[in-house]
Amino acid sequence: MDLNHLTQPLQLNDTTQLKAVFDPALRYFSAQLWKGGEPAGLLGTVGQFTHPDDVLDAVDEFLTEHGESPLTESQMGQFAGMLIMAKGGPDAAMLQLAIENPSSVLLF
């Protein structure tokens, strides 16, 4: 399976994208909203979101405030994966393994 959908911006419509960002120096997550190729909003300030779930808990309200629809369940799952991949490291490696070889993952 192709991991490209987790490393590229989430396309919300023809002109709007949501980008997952992790700042390794400051160790925090954020989400960038882009409309028509231009920055249109930033969710998260320095140190505000230290875990992907923090961003996911706030993203729908952020999108609504910027005139966009909340994420669908599928988009939410994809954006969660994008946040993990943005950080990299062991969690991203495990996610990549699970996507590329689902039978290697033990589910409870």
CA-CA distances (angstroms) from residue 99 to 52, 65, 102? Answer: 19, 33, 6
CA quadruple 33, 35, 37, 38: dihedral, nearest 10: -70
- Whether 5 has a pLDDT exceeding 80, the answer reads no
Phi/psi-derived region of residue 36, left when phi > 0, alpha when psi is between -120 and 50, beta in every other case? left
Q: pTM value?
A: 0.86
What digits encode the pLDDT tens for the residues 20-61? Answer: 999 999 999 999 999 999 999 999 987 789 999 999 999 999
How many CA atoms within 13 Å lie on the side-chain side of 30?
A: 15
- Tokens standing for residue 97: 């393994």
